[in-house]
Chains A and B, each alone.
Chain A
Amino acid sequence: MELIYAILEKLPFAFLQYDFMKNAFLAVIFLAPLFALLGTMAVNNNMAFFSDALGHSALTGIAIGMVLGLKQPLLCMIAFGILLSIAITKVKGADMLSSDSIISVFSSAAMALGVVLLSQEGGFAKYSYYLIGDILTITQNDLILIIVTLIVCYIVWILLYNDLLLVSINRSFAVSRGVNVTFTENVFVILVAVTVMISIRWIGILTINSLLILPAAAARNISVNVKQYHCITTIIGCISAIVGLVLSYEWGTSAGASVVLVAAVIFFVTLFFRKK
């Protein structure tokens, strides 16, 4: 860790002399590729709304954790996130309603449950920092957690990549090629759920989905093949994370929102360079 800190101090950013900024810097650098990876597939599968719902359900996870008297609600959040995403996938697979309606139903139900539980003691405002989040409070242990999640995601990704791609192109086609569609989809949504829940404390409920979707959407505008798509997403994610963090430092604004804003600007720029 000391070595990494020493390297970071060599970088031409004044704020990197502070340890907490180093932690935040490392965090965004690791979070960006993680989100990029999941974002590419979320965009391909038209799941932008799904991850949004997942972000909102973090609130319910916190509420349940609080009711159970847990000090750290993270486990509860992850468990609830996984439960919700599997439920959504299952109901979606039954083809009863269009998927946006189904996601909306689950999202609002989860959100309402969260608000009811949290407001039970009138203390909803106490949890409102989860809405914006704060990347500055990240600790070294949190960083390790992020890195482990990143590694696990990459491993699962490599193992399941072809199956996921087939499913995203066409479900029936994937089935005909012998892919276990339900399993693949579930693994993917669990990955998204875990990632979103782990990082929501730092990114915030309101902005987390944009971080997942924007870099991938921007990259989709300008990339010509799948390989390029992934690379560009990661690059855009990293750039917007670093620039956003620097801007938030200079302006004294929320880091998560600044990162999203930069990513949005990149998205609009890429619109003009759109490949046909």
Chain B
Amino acid sequence: MKKCSILLLCILIMFSGCSNQKQQPQQQTITVVASFYPVYILAKNITDGVKGVTLENMAQPQTGCLHDYQLTTKDRKALEKADLLLVNGAGMEAFLEGVKQQYKQLPVVDTSVGVELLDTQHHHHHHHDEEEHSEKEELYNGHIWLYSENALKQAENICSALCQKDSKNKQQYIKNLELFQQDIKNFQTQQKSQQTQQKVISFHEAFDYAAEEYGFTICAEVLVEEEKTPSAKELTQVIDLAKQQHITIFFAAEDEGKKYAEIIAKETGGKVYLLNPITTGELQKDAYLKAMEQNRNIIQEAIGL
């Protein structure tokens, strides 16, 4: 009995020691957690060079799209010490509701506010207001960052949230945003005049937004989701369509969708071009624009601009 209580005491002391150590540095810095890769690299542009801000990426860079992502213990640890959570929004983070319930104190910034969302099925436009947050979000395509205009809007949202949270560094955040704005503007002016109406078939939902940027038309989409693979019928329909309309350009990402793109390309004599949906990659601030430029080169090669 005596031994037991001594042991218990020791454990208690150890634990209290631990928590004391942890709390001290927290008071000086703020920790911002981004829900996944694209949000992280956008936020990285805003927090670049600002002292006292730690930016962390929650989901590991290999994860890719978040549709059925399950939070790991590591993620929860990151959330536990976070002062601000940046999310992509538009239905990308399916786990968000649970997080909101569990971490009621944690402010969540939806970076998709004010972005024009595309439907998942048809390519209609929707203006995304804050009041519109509802179960309907599933209907929208969440891969907004593939359209540079949207990414800029996201960066603006991130900036204003940071300015509010950490007002003493406000000037620097705004300066960083201006720099990023300039980069995006440069990127846009290089290709705005080169709009095209080329028909393509897409194998990743994210490319709907790339189509916004470059103006190509997606005639059909073959999507591979975790719980559903394309059926034989769907594939034959797409093959027939491609043959009928002489579509020879297939945009796929380096994932399961690529296999189906290759099947259809083989069948119709078209070519598969691999685009980057920018869901994984290096954790650097210029990673976003680099990937966008790479995609542009591939798209230009494909549609022969």
Contacts and interface: CB of A to CB of B under 8 A. Distances in A.
A24 B229 CA distance: 15
B232 A21 contact: yes
A121 B226 contact: no
A137 B266 contact: no
Classify the secondary structure of A's interface with B. Answer: helix
Contacts, number: 78
Nearest to B67: A125
A249 interface: yes
Contacts of B227: 128
Interface residues of B, number: 30
A15 interface: yes
A121 B60 contact: yes
Interface residues of A, number: 28
Contacts of A253: 231
Interface in A1-50: 15, 18-21, 24
A212 B260 CA distance: 27
B263 A136 contact: yes
A13 to B, nearest CB: 11
A123 B260 contact: no
Contacts of B232: 15, 20-21, 24, 136, 248-249, 252, 255
A60 interface: no
A128 B228 CA distance: 10
A219 B236 CA distance: 35
A128 B234 CA distance: 21
Interface in A97-149: 119-126, 128-129, 132, 134, 136-137
Contact of B72 (A21, A119, A125, A129): A119
Counting from the closest, the 5 A-B pairs by CB-CB distance are A125-B68, A252-B231, A121-B60, A249-B232, A137-B259
Interface of A: 15, 18-21, 24, 119-126, 128-129, 132, 134, 136-137, 248-255
Interface of B: 59-60, 62-64, 67-72, 75, 224, 226-227, 229-236, 239, 256, 259-260, 263, 266-267
